[in-house]
Structures are given as structure tokens and as C-alpha cells.
Structure 1
Amino acid sequence: MNGTPTVVDDVMTRRVVALRTGAAFKDIVKTMREWRISALPVLDDGGCVVGVVSEADLLPKEEYSEGDPGRYGQVRDPAEVRKADAVTAGELMTTPAVTVGPDHTLAHAARVMARTRVKRLPVVGRDGTLKGIVSRSDLLKVFLRDDADIAEEVRREVVVRLFGTHSDGVRVEVRDGAVIFTGQARETALIPLAVLLARAVPGVVDVRCELSGLHRRPDLPDPQRAAPT
């Protein structure tokens, strides 16, 4: 698709700051502050992602630092107490890590982020090793795509493929990522499918369809119906 981002590998950040399981609490805080990130993947000795440490994993240390034994009795989740006492990444991390593969679609990554309510995902290979990080902002890069590029793909991959030799009557315009179909379509039954496929083109934010069926004089035979001889 002429370099258009379609999968995670196209948009992910390849330079990644990661932790080992033995990383100390203060070093984790310093790393987050230095790199201005709120979560870090944790790797084992083989470079495989085994968990993620986020700011939320660090907060119990502060929350239960007042020295009031009664506060521990109010905790519903024992994991919070364990994290309050944790001092290494291996003890603090949330595991298993929520990850995606480099060949996953951007839509899949977006759904995983929405479902798990995270801002970034480690990208792992088939062997579990860390390949990169994909963030919400990375997924939005596709919407920076040029209107002319989107229009060309919609014509080629949607209009020509669906309507074939009758595609000349279907016009495509793109304004700020919104696709506008105008003109006449001979195969009117394909119009809803054209709209559906156009919405799936990377960078498209909306589709407006103003297509009409092909008008013909009522005294002329329908060219799509073969008359008996």
C-alpha cells in the first residue's frame, strides 16, 4: 500500500527502554522520570517480556508508607500489600504482560489497548523477545496520511475492484480523511459494500455516499439482462 502504515511493525518505536527483573525500586523511578514514560517492560535473561511495571505498580509503596498497621487490614487485594513491600521489578511487575505482535493490525492493537486500558504495548516476536513499543500516538499516525494518497487507494482497491469496467461513473474525493462517493453506479447492490471497504482503508475517518443508480430510459432494455433470442 505504498508504505501506508497497516500493521504494528510500521509504526512501533524500536528503541525501547526496558528493565531486568532485578532492577531496584529507586532505579525504576529514576528511569521513568528520565525517559518521561509511565510504564516499562520487564525482561528475563533471554530478552523475553515477562511483565510490565507501571506507575500504578509503584504507588502502593507510597500509599502504605504511613506506618499505620490498620491500613493493611483495609486492603481488599493482597497484591497491593505485596507491591507495597516490593523492591525489585520482578516483584512489582504486572504479569503476564499484555503484548501484541509486529504483524498485528493497527485496529487489533487499538482494541487491545481499549480493552485493557493501557497507553502502550510491548511488541514481541514469536519467541517472546522484545521488538519494540507501540503507543496510542503511534496508532494515530495513520490519520496523518495525505488525502490524495487515500483517494488513490480507494479508487484502486475499492472502486475498480468492485465495479470493474463500470467504475468510471463512480467519483472519489477525500477531504481531511473523509471519503465522498459521487456519481452513478450501475451495480447498486454493491454500493453498501463499497462504503464498508472504504471505511477500512488506512487513514479514512468517515465515508459519505452520494451515489445513485444508473438512470436509463424506460423504453430501452436493461443492458444487464440478456434478452431471449
Structure 2
Amino acid sequence: MASTPYTVADVMTRKVVAVTRSAEFKEIVAAIERWKVTAVPVIEGEGRVVGIVSEADLLAKEEFHERRPGMIEQMRRLADTAKAGSTGARDLMTAPAVTVRPGATLPQAARLMAERHIKRLPVVDVDGTLQGIVSRSDLLKVFLRSDGELAAEIDREIVGRLFPVSREGVKVDVTHGVVTLTGHVRDADRIAIATRLAQAVEGVVGVHNHLDAHTSSSGHGA
């Protein structure tokens, strides 16, 4: 009933800095510093993503710069100690990269980040070609929607459709993303539905539903 959910394509950054497999360590560090990012995708050919190099991958070299890890530590942290001795993207990168498609919903992207403990995802098309990148902060952009925009959508898509007859008696207020519904409607069964739908609107922080119902003599309508 509500409008189409926001997708990764709606919030992703389309201008992305990326490196190739042959990029050297200092080149990668310079790119991360210049563009103020925490990771860069590694691409080949026409832009197909084959891996990603993050700050964590690079910090292994700094961690072991002044000391040589013991044999037990080397065995326990094979990946880190190997990266500490690497000088190029082909050895530093984490591969395959965890990616997401442009059409994925924001909750899907957020769940993937949480499950894989990563801060950003390269966005790729069906062929694996880089289209953009989405970060945790990008997923929060929906909460920048204005209160007026949220109120208009809820009034149009939820109140107008759930309560077509009682619509004029329902007031939608939004303050700092928190929705308050007040008024009288004819169908009590739809009040809880209104709460669930309002909570699902992208950018809504919370919902206070103070709607109450009165029944008409005919028992019909909303």
C-alpha cells in the first residue's frame, strides 16, 4: 500500500574511487587519504569488481612494522601476517568482495553489512561491474527526509487508502521523524495496520497512534 521502498540505487555514491590489481601500497594509501574513504574496490577489465582493500588490510603492515610476529602468532593470523608483507592490491585485497545490487532494499544492505562486519559495499550490476558504493552513512540518508515529506506520504499512501471515508477526520503530524496519528475512523481493525505501515515508511523514526474508532449504523466503510 505504501510507496515503493528506497533501494541502494537511491542512496549510493555513484562517483567511486577504485584501484586495479597492480596498484601499489602507497598508491592505495594516497587514494584513501585523498578521497577520505575507508576502503577502495579493486577492479579489472571494464570495471568488474574482484576485491576490496580496506584500512584494516593496510594497517597490518603498520602493526608488524617494528616487530616480527612469533611462529604461533603467524599461524593464528596467517592472513594478517601475509598482508603485512604485501606491497600491492592483488595481495592486500580481500577477495571475493562482498557486493550488493542496486535494486537491493536498504534493510537488505544493512543486514549484509551487519552480518559481514563491514562498513561499505561496492554496488555492482548483474555482470559484476562497479556502479557505485554504499556506506553505513548512506543508509541513514532516508532519515534526512523532511517532516513535511513524510507527513504527505503517510496521508496520501496510508490514511487515504486505509480510511477513504474517514480521511478528513484524521490528522497526521510529524516532528523530527516521529509520526503522530490522531482522529476518528470507522474501522477499528485498520488502526493497528496504520501503525505498521507508517513505521515501514523510509525515514520514519517512530509512530504514536492515537486514532480511535466509532462504528456507523450500517457497519460499512472506513
Secondary structure of 1:66's counterpart equals: coil
8 Å contact from structure 2 (residues 199, 206) kept in 1: yes
Task: Give 1:141's aligned residue.
Answer: 141
The aligned amino acid for 1:138 is D
Q: Does 1:151 align with 2:146?
A: no
- Cα distance change of structure 1 residues 84 and 72 upon mapping to structure 2, 3 Å threshold: farther
- Deviation (angstroms), 1:31: 1.4
The aligned amino acid for 2:73 is Q
Equivalent runs, 1:18-167 vs 2, <5 Å: 18-66=18-66, 68=68, 71-75=70-74, 76-167=76-167
- Cα distance change of structure 1 residues 4 and 178 upon mapping to structure 2, 3 Å threshold: farther
Q: Which runs of no fewer than 5 residues in structure 1 stay unpaired?
A: 217-221
Spell out, residue by residue over 1:175-215, the C-alpha distance to the aligned partner (whole angstroms, 9 max, x if none): 11111011112111111111000011121111001111216
Spell out, residue by residue over 1:54-93, the C-alpha distance to the aligned partner (whole angstroms, 9 max, x if none): 111112222223353x524323131122212222111111
Which aligned runs of 4 or more in structure 1 are off by greater than 4 angstroms?
none
Cα RMSD (Å) of the superposition?
2.1
Task: Give 1:224's aligned residue.
Answer: 219
8 Å contact from structure 2 (residues 5, 105) kept in 1: no
The aligned amino acid for 2:218 is P
- Which moves more between the two structures, 11-20 or 79-88? 79-88
Secondary structure of 1:165's counterpart equals: coil
Larger radius of gyration: 1
8 Å contact from structure 2 (residues 179, 204) kept in 1: yes
Secondary structure of 1:102's counterpart equals: coil
Q: Does 1:213 align with 2:208?
A: no
Spell out, residue by residue over 1:128-187, the C-alpha distance to the aligned partner (whole angstroms, 9 max, x if none): 000011122222221121211111110111112112223333221111111101111211
Q: How many residues align?
A: 217
8 Å contact from structure 1 (residues 4, 202) kept in 2: no
Q: Which runs of no fewer than 5 residues in structure 2 stay unpaired?
A: none
The aligned amino acid for 1:63 is E
**Residues of 1 paired with 2:146 and 2:22: CA distance?**
46
Percent identical residues:
50
The aligned amino acid for 2:128 is G
- Deviation (angstroms), 1:113: 2.1
Task: Give 1:200's aligned residue.
Answer: 200
